[in-house]
Amino acid sequence: MVQADADNHSFVSHGGCCYHRWMLARYISPYNLYLNPTLVVKQYQYWRLVTNFLYFRKMDLDFMFHMFFLARYCKLLEENSFRGKTADFLYMLLFGATVLTGIVLIGGMIPYLSASFAKIIFLSNSLTFMMVYVWSKQNPYIHMSFLGLFTFTAAYLPWVLLGFSILVGASAWVDLLGMIAGHAYYFLAEVYPRMTNRRPLKTPSFLKALFADEPVVVARPENVRFAAAPFDEIHQD
């Protein structure tokens, strides 16, 4: 796996790593946290739109892997693509959570699919998988190894993890939803602006006002020599 330096003051990854699931299971019932559209609309239990992202269900092998993904790739995104851009990182999470919730709500109304979407009551794993997908799209050529069994490039990481989830008996829908949300964000944030010079996912100013992000300063290494300009450019008027 790709190595990254630890950042103790990371905004989201620090909170994810310090999250104690056993305390949540002991003091708060999962039945008060899961996503239930009927309870949200008719009984005004709006907290379910948020709390379903904070619970990772049973502690099994799939749970351990998603915790690893949350701690590692969330940190990698913060330290690289979103370094000094805390508001942008939070906006990405809000966008992903909104897309995932919308897909589940709309999918629950589609015949032949409603039964499958009705089983998706926690979207925490999907949101975690979304971050893995975004990182893989931004770093497609990094070589990786899966449990030392085989090597591949980061572009195929989401598919490798999807195959592993199916192998351990987890629902494929959970990871697929994360891939859909991640692809939607990557397209609107990276691809579409290059095509049209427009940014539909521009972070709102009120979010940026909440975080005093320090400018990123890149230190210039010493004794660096730059290549000479081409001969034609030197003599060009």
- Tell me the residue ranges of DSSP E strands in 69-200: 143-146, 150-153
How much is the pTM?
0.72
Res. 143 pLDDT band, cuts 50 70 90: confident
User: What does the pLDDT look like over 21-44, one tens digit per residue?
Assistant: 444 555 677 777 888 777 887 888
| Average pLDDT value for residue range 207-236 | 55
Q: What is the dihedral of CA 62, 65, 70, 71, to 10 degrees?
A: 150
Instruction: Say how many domains are in the chain.
Output: 1
**220 pLDDT more than 60:** no
Residue 5 is assigned to a structural domain of this protein? no
Q: What is the mean pLDDT of residues 201-223?
A: 68
In a domain, 8, yes or no: no
Q: What is the pLDDT of residue 134?
A: 92
Residue 218 lies in a domain: no
Q: Is residue 49 part of a domain?
A: yes
pLDDT of 45 above 80? yes
For residue 179, pLDDT over 90 is answered with yes
Distance between start and end Cα atoms, the chain: 50
d(CA 87, CA 65): 27
* Domain carrying residue 153: 13-211
For residue 7, what are its two tokens?
A: 């950042």
Q: Answer for the pair 77, 134: CB distance below 8 angstroms, yes or no.
A: yes
CB 92 within 8 A of CB 185: yes
Q: Any residues with CB less than 8 A from the CB of 95 and at least 6 apart, and which?
A: 181, 184, 185, 201
Would you say residue 234 has pLDDT above 50? Answer: no
Does residue 74 lie in a domain region?
Answer: yes
Tell me whether residue 7 is in a domain.
no
Among the residues of 60-121, which ranges form H helices?
A: 61-79, 86-107, 114-118
The verdict on residue 234 lying in a domain is: no
Query: Would you tell me the crossing angle of helices 157-167 and 61-79 to the nearest 10 degrees?
Result: 160
CATH of residue 202's domain is 1.20.1540
**Is residue 1 a part of any domain in this protein?**
no
Distance CA 135, CA 73 (A): 7
- Write the single-letter amino acid at 41: V
